């Protein structure tokens, strides 16, 4: 089953720590959520003990996540990074505000991952839930060879019972996978 997700239907959720708001693109109760978040000032991340997180920068540059174990480099757009939700993190903005895409999943319930789908590349998606998100510009993706245009901030939700081929035709998409 393939569903087009329209930005008009996205929900806004305040951060657990009160520091901002996330635009929820897709979610399933407390099990997982996929959203876009502006980070306009440095500060602590919310505690998500028991959850895994994958994050990718989609606008701006210079985001660094400071942890007790060292830095997590999120300076470059479209390079997903993974970390545990209970990791104490304070963001540092080296070049002004940024926007990120977050995938958060309860590790006892789901396994999560995020991949980049560029023009001319193909991902073979396995059974599960996948969100193909276009963070900016016009994009075109082929689902099993059938081309589908996607405007900026639109997403496709793919609920799969078997493998599926997703090919980037135009633009750059982030593909979140929840299994």
For 60, which DSSP code? S
Counts of helices then strands in the chain (DSSP H, E): 0, 18
Compute and round to an integer the Cα radius of gyration of the chain: 16
**Residue 60 neighbours by CB under 8 Å, 6+ apart:** 95, 96, 97, 98, 99
Look at residue 14 in the predicted model and tell me its pLDDT: 86
Residues 145 and 170: their CA atoms lie apart, in Å, by: 14
Residues 143 and 177: their CA atoms lie apart, in Å, by: 15
Look at residue 16 in the predicted model and tell me its pLDDT: 78
Place of tokens 């969100």: 131
Q: With the CA atoms of 129, 51, 18 and 133 taken in that order, what torsion angle do they form, in degrees rounded to the nearest 10?
A: -20
Look at residue 126 in the predicted model and tell me its pLDDT: 97
Q: What is the mean pLDDT of each run of 10 residues along the chain (179 residues)?
A: 94 82 94 96 93 97 96 96 97 96 97 97 97 96 95 97 97 97
Cβ proximity of 163 and 126 under 8 Å: yes
Look at residue 164 in the predicted model and tell me its pLDDT: 97
Look at residue 134 in the predicted model and tell me its pLDDT: 98
Look at residue 64 in the predicted model and tell me its pLDDT: 97
């Amino acid at each position: 089953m393939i569903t087009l997700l329209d930005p008009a239907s996205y929900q806004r959720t305040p951060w657990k720590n009160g520091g901002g708001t996330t635009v929820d693109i897709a979610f399933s109760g407390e099990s997982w959520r996929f959203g876009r978040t502006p980070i306009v000032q440095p500060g602590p991340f919310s505690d998500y003990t028991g959850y895994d997180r994958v994050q990718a920068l989609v606008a701006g540059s210079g985001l660094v996540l400071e942890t007790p174990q060292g830095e997590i480099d999120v300076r470059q757009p479209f390079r997903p990074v993974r970390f545990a939700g209970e990791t104490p993190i304070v963001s540092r903005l080296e070049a002004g505000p940024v926007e990120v895409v977050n995938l958060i999943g309860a590790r006892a319930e789901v396994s999560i991952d995020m991949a980049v789908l560029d023009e001319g590349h193909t991902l073979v998606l396995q059974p599960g839930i996948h969100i193909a998100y276009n963070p900016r510009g016009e994009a075109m993706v082929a689902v099993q060879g059938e081309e589908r245009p996607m405007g900026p901030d639109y997403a496709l939700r793919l609920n799969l019972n078997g493998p599926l081929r997703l090919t980037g035709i135009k633009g750059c998409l982030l593909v979140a996978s929840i299994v």
